[in-house]
Amino acid sequence: MASSTLFSMCSSKRESFDIKAINSNKEFKFNTTSNLLNRLPVKAMLSSEFTNSRLLTDENSLKWGQSERFLRNRMQCHAVPAYPTGKKFQLDDVIEAQQFDRETLNAIFEVAKEMETIEKNSPGSQILKGYLMATLFYEPSTRTRLSFESAMKRLGGEVLTTENAREFSSAAKGETLEDTIRTVEGYSDIIVMRHFESGAAKRAAATAGVPIINAGDGPGQHPTQALLDVYTIEREIGKLDGIRVGLVGDLANGRTVRSLAYLLTKYLDVKIYFVSPNIVKMKDDIKDYLTSRGVEWEESADLMEVASKCDVVYQTRIQRERFGERIDLYEEARGKYIVDKGVLKVMQKHAVVMHPLPRLDEITVKVDADPRAAYFRQAKNGLYIRMALLKLLLVGW
Amino acid sequence: MASSTLFSMCSSKRESFDIKAINSNKEFKFNTTSNLLNRLPVKAMLSSEFTNSRLLTDENSLKWGQSERFLRNRMQCHAVPAYPTGKKFQLDDVIEAQQFDRETLNAIFEVAKEMETIEKNSPGSQILKGYLMATLFYEPSTRTRLSFESAMKRLGGEVLTTENAREFSSAAKGETLEDTIRTVEGYSDIIVMRHFESGAAKRAAATAGVPIINAGDGPGQHPTQALLDVYTIEREIGKLDGIRVGLVGDLANGRTVRSLAYLLTKYLDVKIYFVSPNIVKMKDDIKDYLTSRGVEWEESADLMEVASKCDVVYQTRIQRERFGERIDLYEEARGKYIVDKGVLKVMQKHAVVMHPLPRLDEITVKVDADPRAAYFRQAKNGLYIRMALLKLLLVGW
Amino acid sequence: MASSTLFSMCSSKRESFDIKAINSNKEFKFNTTSNLLNRLPVKAMLSSEFTNSRLLTDENSLKWGQSERFLRNRMQCHAVPAYPTGKKFQLDDVIEAQQFDRETLNAIFEVAKEMETIEKNSPGSQILKGYLMATLFYEPSTRTRLSFESAMKRLGGEVLTTENAREFSSAAKGETLEDTIRTVEGYSDIIVMRHFESGAAKRAAATAGVPIINAGDGPGQHPTQALLDVYTIEREIGKLDGIRVGLVGDLANGRTVRSLAYLLTKYLDVKIYFVSPNIVKMKDDIKDYLTSRGVEWEESADLMEVASKCDVVYQTRIQRERFGERIDLYEEARGKYIVDKGVLKVMQKHAVVMHPLPRLDEITVKVDADPRAAYFRQAKNGLYIRMALLKLLLVGW
C-alpha cells in the first residue's frame, strides 16, 4: 500500500474542494467546484492511485476510499469559495419548501423552462448520460415515482428502482435509514426518497454524500410538489407578484396547500383566500406566518365569490382517511365545495383551476374540457421541475 | 402572453394535421402525417413560442399547451388525408384482435421478421432511442411485462415500470382510469396496459393522446398473444392459407384459442379441429362466427386422429380456478388430453406443437426435445411481434 | 422453407463452436470461441437464413431456431478447443463458491480493479451496451438487486427487473423453474437469479443457454458475496496469503462466513479464529474441511484477544429468525460479542472490521468513523465484483 500525505483538503457540500497530496513521491492536486464536490472528486480518488492508500493528517492516519461523509466530517477544511462571480445559486439537496428563496425559485423555473424545449435525441436529452438515480421508496407512490423516473430518462440518465425499501428495515433485519443510505449511495449518483416518517429526508441528507431529493416524507414535506405548483401559476398566469389565489378543500391536512401558502410569501402583493369546511380549516401556524410576512389573507365560505376574484382556484381532495369512523362528517365536508361548470362561469377568462391530483369528484369531469382546467398541465409541469432539479443537482447550473 | 390566431387545424388520431397560426405577427404553419399526430406537433407547440399563448377561434379563446385530447375534441378539423399514396396501413392503438385485417397482419409480420435480424449495437437496435414506454400493470403479469420491456430495450427505447397501478385507484384515492392515463401520458410516449376489467384498454385509448397497447384486460382481449400465435404458425409452417389447426384443452375459457380461431378466419381454406373435455367446449359464438365466414370446423374426442391430420396442435392449460369447488371435475378434465411422445409419433414431420405457456403437465417434458415442440420459439416470437408493434406505433411504417 | 445440411457442429458451454452447413446450395461456416457460444451464434442463426430451416443430421431432421439447449443436447460435438494459448480462464455461470480456484479468483479481482477506474462516459462505461440482464428474484433482496443493476448500468447495459418471480410458479399456474428460465432467456442475455430453494441456481444453469448468476438460493449459496469478501480483504490488507481472520457472530447459520472460510483455503498460511456464542458455533463440516486443507483454525471465547491478533475482524448478525420462540437465547447470543470502540482500541492499525450488512447493533455506530471500519467500502466492492462478473460472462476476458 502506497502512502500519501495530505496537505490541504476540504470536503463539504457547500464549499469548493482543494486537495494537494503526495503519493509515492508524486504530487497530486485536486480542485473542484462545490456542486460536484460530493461525487466526482471522491469517485476520482476512489478510482485513482489513492484508492485505499493512506492520508497522513494531524488527526489520524486515514484511508482514501472511505465514504465521503467521513472525509467531510473528519477533514479540516481550507475551502476556497466556489463561484466567486456569476454564481446563480447552490443546490445540494431538495428537502423542504423552506430552503428556497425567491432567487432560487426563479433560477429553478428558468431551468424548468429550458427543459420544456428539450427534444428527443437533441443534445439536451443526453445531459445526464452516465448518471444513475436511485428511487428509494419506503411506501408506494407510483405517480411521483414515474414522474421522477421519466425526468431522469428524458435527460439520458438511468434509474435504479425500489418501491420495496421498507424491506431494508424489516423487523428481522432492522437496518437504520443511515446505513441504508450509505449502501445505496455506493450504487447511485443521486437518491430520490419517499418515506413514511417526517424528517426522514433530512436525516438521509445529513448522512449522504450524494444529493437527496425528498419525494415526500410522511405528513412532513413534499417540496417538488410545492415547486411545481408555484411554477404552474407562473406559467399559466404569467406572474407571481400580485397574484390572487383561492385555496379550497382540506386545508388542515393537505401539505400541498400549506407549502404553497408558505412559498407565496416570497412574492409581492399576494392575496390568499381560504375556502374550506369548518372541520378542515387552515391552521393558525400558516395564517400567523402569512401575517408576519405581510401577506393578506381571508377566510370565506363563498366559493363563487372567491372564484370570481381569483387568478387561481386551487382545489384539493377531502381525505376520507382523516375522518376515521365519522363518515357522516366526511360526506358533509366533501360535498361542500365542488368546482363545476357554475364555478367556471364566474371565473375570469385568464384564471385557472389547479389540483394536485388525484381527484375524486371535487372537480367535475365536465370542467376538464375548459381551457382553464390546468391540472393535467400542472402534472406535466412536475416533469419539467424534476428535470430541472436533477440537472441542477447533478451537473450544476 | 402573446396572442395567436388559429386559421386551420386538425387533430385526431386518424387524420393528418394542418395548422396555420399567427403569433406576434409571425405566421407559423405546421403539417404532420397522422401517426405522429398526437405526439410530435403538440409537443413541438408545447415547446415553441405557442406555449401557453392563446388561440383565437370562433368558439372560444383557447390555450396552446393544453392536453392534446382537448385540441382533438374542441378544434374543428380541416384534415388533409395522410399517406395518399404508398400507404401501407395505419396503426394507432392495439386494443383487440378484431381490429386487424389480413393486410395489416401481413404488414406486422413483415416488420416482425425484420426485428428478428436486428443485432446488438446495429443501427436497427437504436430506432426507438429517446422513446419512453410506460408499462401500466393493474395486475402482475411478469411474463408479458418482461416481453414488452425486452422489446422496447432491444430497440434502444426506455421503460417506466409499474406493476402497482392499482394504487392509482386505491380505495382512499379513487382516481378514474381516465385521469390516470392523462397523468401517465405526460410522462411517456406509449402506454402498455394490463387491467383486470374487460374494456379498460378501449377506454384508455379513447382518452389517451399517446398510443395504447392492450396487454390483456381481464377476461377480454390479449391481442398481442393472438398476433404472436398467428405469426408463429406462419414462421413454423410457412403458410397460413390451407392450414389445419387442432385446438386442444380449455376452449371455453381460454381467450388465446378464441382469438386465434377468430384471426384464422382471415385466411383461406382453413380447417379447425376442437378437442376438449365436454365441460370446457368451445362456445357457440365462435363456432357460429367460423361458419358465417366459411371456415370449416369439427369437434372431435380423438386427439390422436386430429394430431395425425393437423399442421398445428395448439394445446392449452385447463385452468383449475375455473372449477371452483369441483376439483373432481378439474382432475377429470385435465388428464383427458395430454400431448406426449405418443402424440408426437402420429404427428406429421413438418407439424408443430404450440402452447401459450405456462404449462403444467398437459404437454409432457419429454416432448420438449423434439424439434416439433415450438412453444418456446413461440414465446420468443412474442418478443419480435412486440418489437414490431412498438416500432409501428412510435415511428411508423 | 429452405433445407440445410449440417456437417459439423458443436454447442456446449465449455467448448468452441464449429459449424458448416449448406443452405440453398450456399455453404456457411461458423466458428466461435466458447464464452460467446450460447448467445451470439445461435442468435446469429436465429436471425439468419437458417432460421426455421432444417438441419439434416444422422439422428433426425432438425430445425434451426430451436432453443440452444436443444442444440447442445442433441448435436454431436466436434469441438475445437478454444483459447489454446493465452487463455486466462473460462466462466460460464456463477453458481457456488466451490467453482473458483485461486487463479480464477485472481483473474476476477484483476478485472474488478479495472472496474474501479471506469469513469462516467468513458469508453469503459459502454462495454455492455446492447446487453440485457434479467434480475429474476423469487424473493425480494433489494440490496443485492440494486447492486447488480447498478453494475450492469455502470457498464452501459440494460436491465429487466422482477421481484415478483414467484408469480411464474404460483399455485394456479404451476410453471416449473426450467420453463420459466427458457422463457426469460428468450428476453435477455444473462439472468441474475435469487431463489428460496437451495440448488435452484444449479438447475437453472443446467437448462439455460445464457449465463446464470446465483444471487442467493435459500440456505445454499451466495457466491458473489463470498467473492466480494475475499476481494475486500485483498484491497484493504493488500494480501491474502498469510492473513489472520476472526469470524465473529452467527457462524452456524451465516452462509457468508461459511463461504469465506471455504475460499480462504485457496491461500497459503491462513489462520482463522472462530468467535461465537455456543449456540451458533461453526459446524464441523467447515472445520474438517479447513483441517483437511491444512488451514489452521482455533475457537475462542475472547473477542478482545482475537481482535488484537487479526488482520480482519469479520462480524456477522445473529439472526433472530433462527431462534423461533426462544427469544431469551437470542438476546443472550446477540449481546455477547459486540464490536465497539474498545475492540478498535486493541486492533492493529492496519487491520479492518468487515460485515456483510445489514447490521443491527453488533457493531456500534461509533465505530463507523474509524478508518478501519471497512463495511461500507466492502458493500461498494460488491459493485465492482459484479461489474467484473458481468463483463467476464458477457464479453469475456
pLDDT > 60? residue C389:
yes
Distance from CA of C299 to the nearest CA of B (A): 48
Q: For this structure, is A74 an active site residue?
A: no
For the segment C170-186, what is each residue's pLDDT rounded down to a tens digit?
A: 755 789 999 999 999 99
Between C77 and A214, name the one with better pLDDT.
A214
pLDDT at B23: 39
Q: Would you call B358 and C179 a contact, using CB atoms and an 8 Å cutoff?
A: yes
Neighbors of chain B by Cβ distance (3+ pairs < 8 Å)? A, C
Range name among A81-85, A209-213, C182-186 with the lowest pLDDT average? A81-85
Mean residue pLDDT of chain A comes to 81
Strand C26-32 to strand C17-23: parallel, antiparallel, or no bridges (unpaired)? antiparallel
Task: Check B172 against A320: CB less than 8 A apart.
Answer: yes
Residue C88 has pLDDT above 80, yes or no: no
For range C319-337, the mean pLDDT: 87
pLDDT in tens, B288-308: 999 999 999 999 999 999 999
Q: Is the pLDDT of residue B152 over 80?
A: yes
Contacts of B379 in chain C (CB under 8 A): 182-183, 186
Return the partners of chain C (3 or more C-beta pairs < 8 Å). Answer: A, B
Pick B165's closest partner by Cβ from A142, A319, A320: A142
Q: Do A359 and B179 touch (CB under 8 A)?
A: yes
Whether residue C30 contacts residue C39, with contact meaning beta carbons closer than 8 Å, is answered with no
C131 touches chain B (CB under 8 A): yes
- Chain B hits for A125, CB-CB cut-off 8 Å, are 130
Contact A251, A257 (CB under 8 A): yes
Per-residue pLDDT tens digits for B164-218? 888 887 755 789 999 999 999 999 999 999 999 999 999 999 999 999 999 999 8
Which strand (E) or helix (H) includes residue A161?
A: strand A158-162
CA distance A114 to chain C (A): 23
Query: Which of B128, B133, B361, B377 would best serve as a mutation to test chain C binding (most C beta carbons within 10 A)?
Result: B377
- B355 CB near a chain C CB, below 8 Å? no
Lowest-confidence pick of A179-193, A381-395, C68-82:
C68-82
Chains contacting A (3 or more CB pairs within 8 Å): B, C
Query: C6, C47, C129, C170: best mutation site toward chain B, by most B Cβ within 10 Å?
Result: C47
CA–CA dist C285, C273 (Å, integer): 16
Q: Give me B220's grid cell.
A: 377480454
Catalytic residue among A222, A235, A244, A258: A222
Q: Does A321 touch chain B (CB under 8 A)?
A: yes
Chain C touched by A170 (CB under 8 Å)? no
Nearest C-alpha in C relative to A187:
C150
Mean pLDDT of B124-147: 95
C-chain CB neighbours of B116 within 8 Å are: 46-47, 51
- Cβ <8 Å between C134 and B146: yes
Q: What pLDDT is attached to residue A56? A: 30
> Do A354 and A375 touch, CB atoms closer than 8 A?
yes
**Residue A324: what pLDDT?**
83
Say yes or no to pLDDT of B108 above 70: yes
Which residue in the set C52, C67, C134 is minimally distant from B235, CB to CB? C52
Active site includes A39? no
B173 touches chain C (CB under 8 A): no
Shortest distance, CA A289 to any CA of chain B (angstroms)? 30
Q: Which residue has the higher pLDDT, C366 or A65?
A: C366
Interchain CB contact of C141 with B (< 8 Å): no
- Comparing CB atoms, the residue among C162, C178, C188 nearest residue B142 is C162
**pLDDT for res A228:** 98
**So what's the pLDDT on residue A254?**
86
CB burial of residue C266 (10 Å; 0-12, 13-18, 19+): buried
Contact between chains at A121 and B134 (C-beta distance less than 8 A): no
| CA proximity to A244, closest of A198, A293, A188, A310 | A310
Average pLDDT on A205-228 reads 94
Q: How many angstroms separate the CA atoms of C178 and C162, rounded? A: 17
Q: Which residue would you say has higher pLDDT here, A193 or B328?
A: A193
Mean pLDDT over the full length of chain C:
81
pLDDT at A216: 94
pLDDT of A394 reads 96
For the whole model, what pTM was predicted? 0.83
| Amino acid at position A310, single letter | C
Percent of chain B residues topping a pLDDT of 90: 65
What are the residues whose beta carbons fall under 8 Å from the beta carbon of A322, sequence distance 6 or more? A250, A252, A253, A280, A330
Q: Is the pLDDT of residue C156 over 90?
A: yes
Q: How would residue C63 be classed by pLDDT, with cut points 50, 70 and 90? A: very low
What pLDDT, on a 0 to 100 scale, did the predictor assign at position B88? 56
Is B383 close to C187, i.e. CB distance below 8 A? yes
Confidence of residue A62 (pLDDT cuts 50, 70, 90): very low
Give the CA diameter of chain B. Answer: 80
| Nearest neighbour of A179 by CB, restricted to C321, C357, C369 | C357
- Are the beta carbons of C47 and B116 separated by less than 8 Å? yes
pLDDT over 80 (residue B14): no
CB of C149 within 8 Å of a chain A CB? The answer is yes
Q: Please check whether residue A138 is in contact with residue A195, taking contact to mean a CB–CB distance below 8 angstroms.
A: yes
Question: Comparing C16 with C244, which gets the higher pLDDT?
Answer: C244
The three state secondary structure string of chain B is: CCEEEEEEECCCCCCCEEEEEEECCEEEEEEECHHHCCCHHHHHHHCCCCCCCEEECCCCEEECCCCHHHHHHHCCECCCCCCCCCCCCCCCCECCHHHCCHHHHHHHHHHHHHHHCCCCCCHHHHCCCCCEEEEEECCCCHHHHHHHHHHHHHCCCEEEEECCHHHHHCCCCCCCHHHHHHHHCCCCCEEEEEECCCCHHHHHHHHCCCCEEEEEECCCCCHHHHHHHHHHHHHHHCCCCCCEEEEECCCCCCHHHHHHHHHHCCCCCCEEEEECCHHHCCCHHHHHHHHHCCCEEEECCCHHHHHHHCCEEEECCCCHHHCCCCHHHHHHHHCCCCECHHHHHHCCCCCEEECCCCCCCCECHHHHHCCCECHHHHHHHHHHHHHHHHHHHHHCC
Are residues B150 and C47, on separate chains, in Cβ contact within 8 Å?
A: no
Q: Say if B123 is an interface residue toward chain C (CB within 8 Å).
A: no
pLDDT band at A89 (very low <50, low <70, confident <90, very high): low
Residue of B nearest to A238 (CA): B1
C-alpha cell at A290: 402569512
Residues 182-201 of B with CB under 8 A from A: 182-184, 186-188
Residue C6's H or E segment, with its range, is strand C3-8
Q: Is residue C316 predicted with pLDDT exceeding 90?
A: yes
Mean pLDDT on B351-358:
96
Percent of chain C with pLDDT over 70: 77
User: Which of C118, C120, C152 to mutate: most A Cβ within 10 Å?
Assistant: C120
Q: How far is B163 from chain C (nearest CA, A)?
A: 9
Instruction: Work out the minimum CA distance from C21 to partner chain B, whole angstroms.
Output: 18
Q: Which residues contact A245 (CB under 8 A, 6 or more apart)?
A: A233, A260, A264, A270, A271, A272, A273, A310, A311, A312, A314
Cell of B49: 413560442
Q: How close does chain C come to A141, measured CA to CA in Å?
A: 17
Q: What pLDDT score does A31 carry?
A: 40
List of chain B residues whose C-beta atoms are within 8 Å of the C-beta of residue C167: 140-142
- Residues A194, A235, A334, A355: which is the catalytic one? A194
Choose, from C32, C39, C54, C144, the residue flagged as catalytic.
Answer: C144
pLDDT at A176 over 50: yes
Q: Which residue of B has its CA nearest to C174?
A: B360
Nearest CA in chain C to B323: C172
Looking at residue A174, what is its pLDDT? 83
Question: For residue B331, what pLDDT is reported?
Answer: 87
Contacts of B345 (CB under 8 A, 6+ apart): none
Best C375, C377, C383, C385 member to test A by mutation, with max A CBs in 10 Å, is: C377
Give Cα separations from C245 to A52, B304, C226, C230, C260 (angstroms).
19, 67, 14, 11, 10
